[in-house]
A and B are shown apart, each in its own frame.
Chain A
Amino acid sequence: MVGIKPSFMETTGLLLISLVLVMVILSFVVGNVIFYPRSESPYSPPSQSNLLGTDDLGDDVLTLIFRGSRVSLSIGIIGSLVSTLIGTVIGALSGFCGGSLDDILGWLTDLFIVIPALPLMIVLTAYLSPSFWNVVLVIGLLWWPTTARLVRARAWQLRSSTFVEGLIGIDASKIYIVFRHILPNVLGVVLARFVLSISHAILLEAGLSFIGLSDPTNPSWGTILHFAMTRGALLQGAWWTFVPPGIAISMTSLGFILLGMGLEQRYRIGPKSLEGKI
């Protein structure tokens, strides 16, 4: 593969991600003394005691952002893990086995790639009642098709290679080949997709939370935005309640996008691999 030295994109991405990790660590340090100092009145502007001001309950916004980093990041990572797993398995099976299984899985992938995901997620989340795991589940179950398509393409390539043809020739078990030879060889693609999906998952979670479809007792950055919007922060001009969470969301998703794209370049996955739907 390409050299070990990280590219500019990867470096920047990693830098942004480590910033978020610092937030997560800080949230455990300051998290236990959360909500102190509380301001005397709702929506106090930034001051010495509350660097990013306070929200409608007088809670420190900076502390909330730190705490939110845990929720946003963990939903992002777990959601992406689920979707990448599903996508990889479906893609590998589809690409390797071919035939009618490929047709069925290909049809399923096309279906989920075309159906607009966010509205479907909104409907599903509303149905499942919003909670941490339900949001993870919904993102995981609906965000796998792109991964599946990329893995399928790569698996198909490998399947046609002389090495795998040879293995099939000596009657090796299909499951064995998939796990022993196909999956390890698509790891690069999968890794890149995983990292990119984290950014998508974080954005999707933020979107769901923004319209109030999240667990309000465990507020993510999107939830902070939602509360700011529904509790009059905009008209108050209390920008400190809704600008910082947005920056946090953008920064994190940018970090993962850069790292993911850097990895894509490393493993030579161009946007063209995405085309050729149905």
Chain B
Amino acid sequence: MKKTYLLISAGIIIVAIVGVMVSAPTGFFNPNQTTQQTQNVTRTLTIGTVNVVKTDNYVKDYYMGIFSACFILDPLARVDASGNIVPYLVNWTTSDSKVWRLTLIVDTKWHDGQRVTAEDVAFTIMYLKQKDPNYATHFQFVQSASALDNRTVEVTLSKEWNSFVVGLAATRLMPKHIWSSVAEPASYTGNDRNVGCGPFVYGGFDAASGTMTFLSNKDYWRGPPNVDKVILKMYTTTDAMLMALKKGDIAATYAYAKGIDPIYVPSLLEDKNVTMIILPNFGVDNSLWFNCMRYPYNMTEFRIAISYALEYSDYVNYISAGYAKTPTRGWIPDCWDYYVPKPKLMKNASYAGEILSSIGFLDRNGDGWREYPNGTDFNMRILARSDISESLKLAELVKRDLEKIGIRTQIVTADVSTFQTITQNTKDFDSAISRTTFWGMIMYAGAGTLYFDNRNMGWANVGDPVYHSVVDEIIKTANQTRVRELYAKLQDLYAENMYAIPLYWGKIIQPYRSDLVSGLVYDTMYGILGKDTWFSVVVK
């Protein structure tokens, strides 16, 4: 008897040893890392992110594009705290919204020592237009871009287009002397692919451990950054990243265009050293989009009735753990400087029921559900993203609210690509739940027009000629006072027509450890990794 147990335990030990030998191939654990800790003269900032870079080519990889814009490259223009586009590397003038003159306003060098010139600016615009599908849209009306001298570039558009400056804010200046000979930028693997003129020099990427490093550029035109080295740690789950924050492995977290899900806030508040920057979100966190070309969602009364059926406080309370507010009928969040106050959305179930009854949606057969005016069964479908739990849960709450006023509701789920195909191409949906981003809000004619206008992405599928004419005028108008008036007009249209119901206006929650870092500045586009952070940050 004893012998058997002995044999079993001996077996376990042998296999465990073999297992460790198999599992630790040479070089897998590198013991000489410990020596690096001793020379702790560098000011190192470690940031965690769930934006996982898959390959460190910034033309190809979406998140590499974001991080390169934060660290190694400089944008032509930037977005200020109230959402306006302001000069960074270049300033611009135009008299007719067709011919634009860009002037390089700083004198700086690439990381490899070459001087940054207007040639680089002209090259970047034309190169991205040709090579990068993302910029094919931003620069769709660009006919030519050429350097007039060392500092000036003239860009000619094929039509009047004021959103051209949005493209400038999206554009990171690229070195002509490196990329001009690259035909396929997305698969370029040359060692100079991450040479930029930004505040940091690229330090390398280890895909297996998800670690990227950046070293300060002492020659940056705004002076050397306050940190010597930034380490970006990529996590595949928010849970793991926030645990690392609690343990102090990282000083702050980062997620492009959003903070952390508010549902995590209570567990972070348990830690005294974790502080949060809380800011309004320029995107509308989630809206219920109607397909305004499909009956009965093309009826303004119907859409307005729905807007009175929803329990908005539930969305704030359960979906965003209280870190949100109930929107107004104008859809545009109140943090935008062109925001016009409108009445707050609120629930009035009996009023919603009255409107529905008045347009013929009644429960005639007494089964508890309203039917179409012609008596056939009515069923409203809500399209939601199957890969976003928050969106599914929100759809569930909306469904319960609609069912309370007698509308039979069905949630239809779709993964990201199917969702995009349905909402943007086939338009085979009744209503959909989705969020908008800051970028989306400023693209096209701005003020969310990208998401409404059926001539563009148009989730709401708005074909209203009044709406179209306002959008067209914004695109052509250079006069900012007039644009402001038109944005007010858009908000009137949003409120009157309820093409989409904003469900809640969320907040951006940016946690960091106050015992490790201070002086983080929040940038509208890039969050705490905006350029201003590097000149006020203090690493402790």
Contacts and interface: CB of A to CB of B under 8 A. Distances in A.
Contact of A57 (B242, B393, B415): B393
A58 B263 CA distance: 12
Nearest to B263: A232
Which applies to chain B's interface (DSSP): helix, strand, loop or mixed? helix
B261 A232 contact: yes
A227 B261 CA distance: 14
B321 A42 contact: yes
Contact of A232 (B267, B317, B414): B267
Given A130-B386, A217-B411, A234 B263 contact: no
B264 A230 contact: no
B411 A231 contact: no
A240 B497 CA distance: 44
Q: Which of B386, B390, B400, B410 has the most CB atoms of chain A within a 10 A radius of its CB?
A: B386
Nearest to A237: B267
Contact of A235 (B264, B389, B390, B393): B264
Interface residues of B, number: 27
B318 interface: yes
Contact of B389 (A40, A43, A226): A226
A230 to B, nearest CB: 4
A227 B267 contact: no
Given A56-B318, A231-B393, A42 B413 contact: no
A73 B396 CA distance: 23
Contacts, number: 64
Contact of A212 (B264, B321, B386, B393): B386
Interface string B392-415: 110011001000000000110111
How many chain A residues sit at the interface, stated as a range, is 20 to 34
A17 to B, nearest CB: 30
B267 A231 contact: no
A231 B389 CA distance: 7
A42 B318 contact: yes
Interface string A186-216: 0000000000000000000000000010011
Contacts of B418: 129
B318 A58 contact: yes
B267 A56 contact: no
Contacts of A231: 261, 263, 389-390, 393
A56 to B, nearest CB: 6
A42 B319 CA distance: 8
B321 to A, nearest CB: 6
- Of the candidates B243, B267, B321, the one having the most CB atoms from chain A within 10 angstroms of its own CB is B267
A235 B243 contact: yes
A111 B267 CA distance: 48
A43 B243 CA distance: 19
A18 interface: no
A44 to B, nearest CB: 11
| Residue in A42, A56, A235 with the greatest tally of chain B CB atoms within 10 Å | A235
Contact of B267 (A40, A130, A235): A235
A212 B385 CA distance: 11
B533 interface: no
A160 interface: no
B239 interface: yes
Contacts of A42: 263, 317-318, 321
B242 A235 contact: yes
Nearest to B264: A232
B239 A56 contact: no
A235 B239 contact: yes
A227 B393 contact: yes
A42 B266 CA distance: 10
B238 interface: yes
A214 to B, nearest CB: 9
A126 interface: yes
The 9 closest A-B pairs by CB, nearest first: A230-B389, A232-B263, A216-B392, A217-B411, A236-B267, A232-B264, A235-B267, A235-B239, A57-B318
Given A57-B393, A227-B392, A232-B261, 8 more contacts: A40-B317, A56-B263, A57-B318, A58-B318, A215-B413, A227-B389, A235-B264, A235-B267
